[in-house]
Structures are given as C-alpha cells and as structure tokens.
Structure 1
Amino acid sequence: MMMKLTLSKVTGSARLGVITALAQSGGEKTLEVPGCLLYTRTGSPPHLTHDTLQNIAGVPPVTHLTLSTLAEHQEVLEEYKEGIGKFAGLSDTLLYCSINDPVTPNPPGYNTNKTVSVWGSGGRLELTPQRFVSLQGALRVDWIQCLCDGEAAADGCSRKRAKKSVDRSLSFLDECLKLMSENEALKQKVVIGAIEGGDLQEERLRSARETAKRPVGGFLLDGFQGGSGDPENKLNLIAAITAELPEDKPRFIHGIGRPDEVMDCIERGVDLFDSTFPYEVTERGCALSFTHQYQPDPETAGEPQRPVLDKKELINGEQTEDESEDAEDDRSSITAYEICLKEKRFREDFRPLLQGCACYCCRHHSRAYVHHLLISKELLAGILLMIHNFQQYFNFFRSVREAISDGKFQDLKEMIRKQAS
C-alpha cells in the first residue's frame, strides 16, 4: 500500500497538495501539504490530555510518535496485542513513528554496521533490523521511518563518515523492507526512507537516488536540525536533494520549526514538518506572537480572524528592559516569534496572549494570569500555553497553504522574515 500525494499547484519548488490513502485501513482522512504532524511524547501531546486537545482547531490528522521513547515498552505492547494507537488513546488518528525525538536527539558515536542506538528513559537500546521490525510489529503504526544511520549531520562531517552513513542506511533499508515483506501485519505499512550523507552533496544525491529506487512511501531529509553550520549551504543541499526525488511522494524534515526556516524549506520542496517548535516555545514559558495574515480581507476587517501583532512585542532580547522573574531563565533561545510571559511587564497586562487569536486560552485568560501561573510554577501554565502555541502553529501552516494557492507565497515569506529582523 502506498499513500498518494496529488499536487494541485507548484510555485517554484513550494508544493501545494493533498495526501490520500493514508493508511491500509482506508478511511476518508487526508493530509494537506505543506503541513505538520501532531507532536507527542511517549504517545501523548505535551501538557495536554486528548480531551483538552479537542479545544484546538485544525489538529493534523497524523500523529508523530518517537521510537526512542517507546522502544523500552515493547514487551508491554506485545502483551497488549492491539498496538500503541489503542493503548495511548490515539485510535482516531494516523500514526507516524520516527526513530528519534527531534527535541532530544541521540548522542553520536554509537551506531555500527549492524545496530542503531536509541536512548529511552532507561538508557541506551541497540536496534538491529530484526529487533526494529519486531518492535514495529508491537507498535502497529501506519507510517514507519526506517532504521538509518543519522549521525552524519548537515553541519559538517568527514567524507568517509558521510559515505558510511549512506551505505549503512541503504543496507538497513533493504533488510527492513525484506523483513517487513515477510510479515503479514507489516507488509502493507508505509516506509519512509531517510536521506543521509552529511554536508556532502554527492553523497546526499546518491542517497536520494538509491532510496527512491526502493518501495518507500516518502522521504525524510535527515540531519538538518541544529543551529550550527552555514544556513545557506543547508538550504542549497535541501534544494539539490528534493530536485532528485520523485514528485508524487512527500518529503519530511525533522527539527526545523521556526517560521522563517519553515518557509525557506517549503520554498525548496519540503512538504511535512514536525510540531516540536510550539512545545519548545511552551517550555520556555513563551507564547507564539507572530502574524501570518498576509492579505487582510476588507470584508472582515472589523472582525480579525487571524492574530494581530503588536509591534512593540517583537522580542529579541534587546527590545525590553524588563527581566524575567526567573533568575535562571535562559533568554538566548527565545526567538523573535514569541513573547516571554515570565517577564515582570506582564504582571498587570490583562490582554489576551495575542490580539485576534481565537484559541481557548486567549478567549478565557490574560497574559497576567498566565504570567502568575508561570511564576507560581502551576501545571496549568503549560496546558494553556500549549493550547495557544499549537493553535497558532497549525494556523500558520493553513496560511502557508492559502498563500501558495493565492500566488502570495513570497508575500507571506517576506512578512515572516521581517518579523525576525
């Protein structure tokens, strides 16, 4: 079974389309691209229950699980016999399982020609293709990122290491595909092949061409997360890779979530992203505060449907003299797309987190209240911020799709870029 990507418009390399035939069970679910997946930790959306998740509009129909957090629970799932979807209450969504959690990547130096190491709460686990396939049999997800050697990052590695990452990953892919084809429960699953090769274009292109020859349903551009390395070189590499891949299969990327970086990747042919960025913003005690309304509708000018950004709220560390009330708070990771609600200036700010936002938090609570919750270290702070940040992020991708459809992609990209400067 292969999922089907149908493109309706391509602007440069930015692709607008819809993925159908998402799972072997059939059904009517579709996933629009460009888009993102619903990020979870050990099968649950961070800070949220499945009930509170219902307060968020436009939740993606595909949920992102991570093998590193689930591998140690294999025996429990094998005994349960009905898969992680039912076990974690995720039976109404499609499931995609990546090897690593983009928020906490594995330490390098532990992969071999025969095993890939992942780290769970109990320490390191070595996965052979055989163990990987048996683990997938217990999980019963719909889309499976194949076992790969993802240690050769795009911000630099030796030529020898880059070549080894490609050779190992192709070998793992071939072995896993063979084992899955012999397993009745797994033979119809969608396999996502990883494109490896570090920062060497020739190895990346070899990986792309060879992976595309295998019966995979999509491609993961691996190793691009992390802030080091030349951003322009990474983008050129992404553009070269996507140019080699077939048009009718989706391209995934992990660990890239900042709005301006997302726009750069979409412009170079990437289709699907994780939604770890809203979680990271929440963990910083921050709220997404950027606008993605590229074209105001005069008919609805009096009733804003999208967030309206107060220019004074663009935070980059120099634009406010107010210090956070948490002395240990690290401001270096705060982006220009968010406001830090731990700051003293929000103590008596009774506006919603973002003017014009229709999320549950902004409809019912103020910045001052969320500030109080954060300073008091109340768990409700994370819940309210997660609802807001997920809602804003999912709305952002909707705006990207609308911009491509309307021929306004560059206008939106410029608007997003200006908010970072």
Structure 2
Amino acid sequence: MNTFRVLKAAVTDVATTQSGARIGVLQLSKGFTLHTPNFIAPTSRGVVPHLSPDNLDRNTGVVGVYVALEDFIEKAPQRVPPLYTWPGTLRDFISLPADNFLILAPRRSPAIVCPKPNSDANISILTSVGFRDLPVKDYVSAAVKLRPDIVISVADIPNMEKPGKTRVPKIPVRTERWLDELIGRTNAGTSSKEAGTDAAAEHRPAVFAPALSLEHVKQRLYIDYLVDNVDKLCGLVFTEADHLLDLPDELQQLAKYHTDVTSGPHEILELIDRGVDMFNANFTGLATDAGIALHFTFGDGSNEGGVPLEPTDLATDMWNEKFATDLSPLEDGCVCYACRKHHKAYIQHCLAAKEMTAWVLLQIHNLNVMDRFFEAVRKSIDQGRWETDKETFAQRYKRELPEKTGKGPRLRGYQYKSAGGDKKLNDPAYRSLDVDAPEEEEGVPEADAAGLQKSGFAQVASDW
C-alpha cells in the first residue's frame, strides 16, 4: 500500500498564511520508506551522474532516483528503442541498487522547453538526437510495463512563459484526461501478459499528480477532480511554488514533490517552510559538474547568542590552484568516502588532469552533504527549533554558490537551454587530419517501415 503520513508540523506564526514545515513518512508498496523532508537524485539515462551503481549504493545515502522516459527513446519512431522490447523492469534495465526506489517521469528535471507545442495525444520531448513527440498512451504503457515505484503523470506544460487565452483552458483539461488514463491503468494493475509473473501483475506504483501553475479559478475543475480521486493519489508534483497554499485541505495531506530546485539550499528551506516534502536537488549535480565541493550544515546552534554573522560560502571551487598542496579533506569532520580516503590536493590534481575520478569523489561528497542537511532539517522540525535554525542558516551562508572557473566534463545536450544559432558547447572529440576533406553531413536515418509500425509502447504491447 502506498501511503504518505504527516508526523509532525513545525510551530509557525499563526499570523502567517503559510502551512509551515513538516516531517512525514512516505511508505511504498515494495517496502521502501522515505522520511521527509528529503531529496531525490536526478539521473542521466538512468544513472546518477558520475556514479556507478555500486558507488551509489556503498558511498551515498541516496534513497530514491528520478528517471525520465525521454532519456531512452531517441530511436523512435524510426527504430524501436531497446527499452520498449526489454523483457524486465526499468530497475533491471538501469541496474538500480535494490535499496533505492525509482521515480518514473516523462521528462527530465528541469525539462528543456520544446519549440513544438503539445497536442491532445502527444507531448513534446527532447532526446539525445533532437526533439520528438511522445504519445501519452506510450508513457502510460511504460508506467505499467516498467513497474517503477512512483510514477509522475503527464502535465500539459506550454512552451511559453505566459500561455494565451485559447491555450489556458486546454491545460487542465488535457492534464486531467492524461491523469485519469494513468490512474485507470495503474489501479487495474499490470496485466499478466505485460508483467510475466503473478507477483508483478499485482504491482501498483504510487501515482503523483502534477500541480498546475495556474490561478485557482482557471483550474477549478481539475482541482475538484484531484479531490474526488485523492484516495488514488500519493503525492503532488510542483515545478513552481506560487500556488502551494491554494490547495484544499484534502490535497494538503498528500506528499508535495518539487522537481526543479536549481539555486541552492536557501531555496530548499523556503520551500520546506511552505510545506514541500521532497526535492530534486538539481544544484548538487550542477555543483559537481562545476568542480565545486559543498560544505554547508544546518541546525548546529552556531548562532545561539544572536550575534550577527559574516556570511560564508556554501561551497568551495576546487579548481583553485591553492589546493594543489592542501592535504586536508574536502570538509573537516566529514566522514564520506571522499573525505576519509582523499585530500584536496589529489582532487584538484584530478580536475586539472581532467581525470573523471575528481567528479566521482565530488559527487560522493556533495550527496553526503545533502543527506546530512536533510537529516538535520528533520531533527530541527521534530525538536521545535525550525524557525531559529532557519534564520541562523540564512545569516550564516551566502545565497549563491561560487562561480564556476574550470572546464568540467563534456556537457550533455539537455544541460543548457537551446536557442537558435547557438554553437555547440563541446569541442569535437575527433577531427579529420585532411584539412581539405569535406565535413560529414549530419542526417536522419531513413525510416524503417517495420520500426514505424512498432515504435511505441502501445503498438508493441502485443509482443510482450
């Protein structure tokens, strides 16, 4: 049974309109438990960047990962993506450790805006080879066939900051219809033909519904639908926090999941104060890519006397050459693998040599910093120190992370926002030694007639 329970709410000023921070527990049907507030690790093609599955399992406290379907279907519709014919689960496909639960979403976090708008039956996605359409029925079939622990329903998010008058009414209607289709399929369970075993046929993932960034009056019918089906939902997914407090009481008791946190821990604390329970801590991976080591702590009582503090940095740029002879760990007192086994000089050397071990060690350390941070947040709320600890943290640390100074690993195509006329961000890995040789033209493979007939989950269901 997939359930979320609020265990305790922080003491808040009754004059405020905010719901306040809270601690809770999310229990999933396969035995996974997530104590909230907590963070989820986003993945790239099913893998937490820079970490192999064994490193993720042994050297981090990550309990859940976020996986996007658009990472795996670049071959469609010309060819059948391997994931579409995979006989097992998505967990098996990406070799996810047994102790980590899996969240399936249609798009990455944060998603890149696609130039083509969504339609009634498709959403626009960005694969590793360009923009594509993903039929919603294919995504629903994927949610059933691949058996994730949590599935996020599709939201009709427009490709513009402020949708027009004719566009706004379509957003809640489409989102509700797609959510209804997902609930219908997941509540029915996985068919024995799709699952292959009786045990798998009983699997029902927890469904998280998208919360739309629209005024309450413009999505009233959609919110009414959520209230009517609240017993079939486990959580709500937000990409913006503007409408967190506009929800009816019935929906306030669901887990709240924010998927686009990119600025840093100050933003996380502000969202926790507004009742958010789960986060995609995207800035952690961005810091690792930039060669930056996090070193912030929460709730250590360092400002109990109320003396104003000079704000310190949230992190350290390890590209700085002054660390070339520094034999101290990334953070004093840290017991993560990177700090126990290596020092700043070694990591700075690996960065300068473009040795990928540097990013492996930084990712291990940064994820452990996040794990300690959220553990301290939960303890602070439980002990009634939330307001004091939050104010102390705001005084103690600068809001922005340090600027990137070095050149990190090769950028993946979805790590930047595309614009017309932009040049490629990565230098070519290979070049022709014959300067007079014409450049090879990029082309799209010719469509395979058989592949076109079996390009989606819905179309190949008969083959399972």
TM-score, scaled relative to structure 2: 0.72
Q: Does 1:212 align with 2:227?
A: yes
Question: Which of 230, 248, 251 is equivalent to 1:246?
Answer: 251
2:179 match = 173
SS at match of 1:274: strand
Cα distance in 2, alignment partners of residues 313 and 51 from structure 1: 37
Q: 1:380 to 1:104 in 2, by over 3 A?
A: farther
CA shift at 1:384, angstroms? 0.5
SS at match of 1:351: coil
1:420 match = 398
Cα distance in 2, alignment partners of residues 380 and 261 from structure 1: 30
2:175 maps to a residue whose letter is S
Question: Which of 109, 113, 121 is equivalent to 1:102?
Answer: 109
1:278 match = 284
CA shift at 1:156, angstroms? 4.5
> Which blocks of at least 5 consecutive residues in structure 2 are unaligned?
13-19, 192-200, 303-308, 400-464
1:60-99 matched pairs, under 5 angstroms: 60=63, 62-72=64-74, 75-90=81-96, 92=98, 93-99=100-106
CA shift at 1:350, angstroms? 2.4
Q: Does 1:6 align with 2:5?
A: yes
Question: Which of 309, 312, 315 is equivalent to 1:314?
Answer: 312
1:160-199 matched pairs, under 5 angstroms: 160-181=166-187, 183-184=190-191, 185=201, 188-198=204-214
CA shift at 1:9, angstroms? 0.6
2:150 match = 143
1:288-303 matched pairs, under 5 angstroms: 288-295=294-301
1:255 maps to a residue whose letter is D
Q: 1:187 to 1:54 in 2, by over 3 A?
A: closer
Contact map agreement 2:140 2:181 (CA 8 A) in 1: no
Q: Does 1:255 align with 2:260?
A: yes
Contact map agreement 2:60 2:364 (CA 8 A) in 1: no
Q: 1:206 to 1:338 in 2, by over 3 A?
A: farther
SS at match of 1:246: helix
Cα distance per residue 1:321-354 (max 9 Å; x no partner): xxxxxxxxxxxxxxxx221111233233322111
Contact map agreement 1:162 1:197 (CA 8 A) in 2: no
Structure with more contact order per residue of length (Cα contacts < 8 Å, sep ≥ 6): 2
> Which blocks of at least 5 consecutive residues in structure 1 are unaligned?
225-233, 297-310, 316-336
Cα distance in 2, alignment partners of residues 187 and 10 from structure 1: 32
1:58 maps to a residue whose letter is G
CA shift at 1:194, angstroms? 0.5
| Identity over aligned pairs, percent | 25
Cα distance in 1, alignment partners of residues 39 and 92 from structure 2: 22
Cα distance per residue 1:63-82 (max 9 Å; x no partner): 22112213347742343311
2:415 match = none
Question: Which of 106, 114, 138 is equivalent to 2:121?
Answer: 114
SS at match of 1:342: coil
Cα distance per residue 1:54-105 (max 9 Å; x no partner): 3434322x22211221334774234331111112222513211122211453
SS at match of 1:54: helix
Cα distance in 2, alignment partners of residues 180 and 166 from structure 1: 21
Cα distance in 2, alignment partners of residues 219 and 152 from structure 1: 21
Cα distance in 1, alignment partners of residues 162 and 269 from structure 2: 23
1:230 match = none
Contact map agreement 1:117 1:126 (CA 8 A) in 2: yes
SS at match of 1:254: strand
Cα distance in 2, alignment partners of residues 346 and 312 from structure 1: 23
TM-score, scaled relative to structure 1: 0.79
2:384 maps to a residue whose letter is G
1:365 maps to a residue whose letter is H
Q: 1:270 to 1:380 in 2, by over 3 A?
A: same
Q: 1:412 to 1:209 in 2, by over 3 A?
A: farther
Q: Which has the larger radius of gyration?
A: 2
Q: Which moved more, 1:339-348 or 1:44-53?
A: 339-348
CA shift at 1:123, angstroms? 2.5
